[in-house]
Homo-oligomer: A and B are copies of this chain.
């Protein structure tokens, strides 16, 4: 057995025990959150070393910021764990129940998935979030964070797992892969014997690599080439406000928009109003030929722009001849995350909701709301952009499976 196989076997055994627990899970997580506060100096010290090493290796300022922990950020991590700890237990919920004509009583209830693997990048807060969500839903977690954050993650997992086992949870319910090599990632992705699901969290490159190589079932998350379509009937001011918010409130996240489609009937009024708002944040516009006519001086868009997730202060703009053309563009280029129509037309709103095949489809609201917290799910483990198992923000409920319980008195078939 390799080291990672031993971790997998231990996680599987821990999962079998975790599946039997109820309120103990939440109580242990409260202890773990408290331990994170009390032992924060261990975590901050390890983080300082990661930061120093990262600076030495020339990591970008943005990456260093994602990696950086402060007492305030540790407090947020602990508070987020407490919120999850106090949520309703997603395990053991009755999904359906029926007595069959032969007298068999068939019930369907929620159960944990088992062992959840999470592969992520530089943010150390994913470590405590994933721990809370997995444990609360009765799953063992095997985490593999980015190598830049290895020291921080080791410290966080040490603090949390000490507290969890002291509170009576099984050893091995929370484990970290400490080998940052590519081989360890590949081994984890192939470990179908022990892992029930693998959730990659990070940029498109990471997600595609995991999706392309994993044998363990993967839930694809967080790639967002999102669109706002400004209908001919749109309230132009509302459209400009929604676009401004959806592009600039946090351009680096997956629910930010990357392309605006504008109906030709609205284009001459809407495009200057949209540009005026976006100029406040110096957003670069890349336009189709018609958009470039209306907004002289913007960069002409290439075919590649329509499929690019900029995650930056850049926005592609296209004038379309009809709602039909907008729907076709979205079907061709969207990653299926979040799309919005700004319209005053009932018929066009209904058609957009019906025909757009994305996890979240909006009328007259910013795509930035696609988020577990905003949707009322509590914390989220990611936003699924696939159709199998879970779609959209994934909370505790999406970390469960189900089983059928059948009670009889001797029935045979």
Chain A residues close to B by CB (< 8 Å): 16, 19-20, 98, 100, 104, 106, 108, 111, 113-114, 192, 196-197, 211-212, 215, 217-219, 235, 238, 241-242, 244-246, 249, 331, 349, 353-355, 357-366, 368-370, 374-376, 386-389, 391-392, 401-413
A211 CB contacts on chain B under 8 angstroms = 192, 215
Instruction: Determine if A412 and B361 form an interchain contact, defined as CB atoms under 8 angstroms apart.
Output: no
Selected from B106, B357, B369, B388, the residue in CB contact (under 8 A) with A104 is: B369
Q: Would you call A386 and B242 a contact (CB within 8 A)? A: no
Say how far A34's CB is from chain B's closest CB, in angstroms: 29
Contact of B242 with A365 in the complex, beta carbons under 8 Å: no
Choice from B219, B387, B401 contacting A391 with Cβ under 8 Å? B401
CA distance A86 to B379 in the complex (A): 40
Neighbour of A357 across the interface among B111, B370, B409, CB < 8 A: B111
Copies in the complex: 2
Contacts A362-B408, A410-B238, A412-B241; A403 near B106 (Cβ below 8 A): no
A357-B13 Cα distance, complex, nearest whole Å: 12
Chain B residues with CB under 8 Å of A410's CB are: 235, 238, 241-242, 364-365
Question: Is the Cβ of B245 less than 8 Å from the Cβ of A412?
Answer: yes
- Residues of B with C-beta under 8 A to A407: 349, 362-365
Min CB–CB distance A110 → chain B (angstroms): 10
Among candidates B212, B246, B359, B388, residue contacting A196 with C-beta atoms closer than 8 Å: B388
Closest chain-B Cβ to A329's Cβ sits at a distance in Å of 13
Smallest CB–CB gap between A369 and chain B, Å? 6
Residue of B nearest to A242 (CB): B412
B364 touches A408 (CB 8 A): yes
Q: A304 to chain B: closest CB distance in Å?
A: 17
Which one of A370, A407, A413 has the greatest number of beta carbons of chain B within 10 Å? A413
CA–CA, A90 to B408, complex, Å? 29
Residues of B within 8 A of A104 (CB): 365, 369
- Whether the Cβ atoms of A388 and B387 lie closer than 8 Å is no
User: Are A366 and B411 closer than 8 Å at their CB atoms?
Assistant: yes
Contacts of A217 in B (CB 8 A): 217-218, 386, 388
- The chain B residue sitting closest to A354, CB to CB, is B20
The 7 tightest CB contacts between A and B, nearest first, are A365-B408, A245-B412, A387-B401, A389-B389, A365-B411, A368-B413, A360-B404
Nearest B-chain residue to A255, judged by Cβ: B413
Q: Which of B100, B360, B392, B408 contacts A376 (CB 8 A)?
A: B100
Contact: A376 with B98, CB < 8 Å? Answer: yes
Q: Which of the residues B16, B376, B403 comes within 8 Å of A331, measured between beta carbons?
A: B16
Could you list 30 A-B pairs, sorted by A, with CB under 8 Å? A19-B355, A20-B355, A98-B376, A100-B374, A100-B376, A111-B387, A113-B387, A113-B388, A212-B215, A217-B217, A217-B218, A241-B410, A242-B410, A242-B412, A244-B412, A245-B412, A353-B405, A359-B403, A359-B404, A361-B404, A363-B407, A364-B410, A365-B406, A365-B407, A366-B411, A366-B412, A366-B413, A369-B406, A375-B404, A392-B403
Residue among A218, A361, A405 with most chain B CB within 10 A:
A405
Q: Are B369 and A411 in contact (CB under 8 A)?
A: yes
Contact yes or no, A387 B98, CB < 8 A: no
Contact between A403 and B365 (Cβ–Cβ < 8 Å)? no
The residues of B that contact A353 with a CB separation of less than 8 Å are: 405
Q: How far is the CA of A244 from the CA of B369 in the complex (A)?
A: 57
Q: What chain B residues lie within 8 Å of A388 (beta carbons)? A: 113, 196-197, 217, 219, 388-389, 401
Chain B residues in 8 Å Cβ range of A355: 19-20
Given A249-B413, A410-B365, the answer on whether A403 and B360 have CB atoms closer than 8 Å is yes
Q: In the complex where A242-B412, A392-B404, A413-B249 touch, is A196 in contact with B387 (Cβ < 8 A)? A: yes
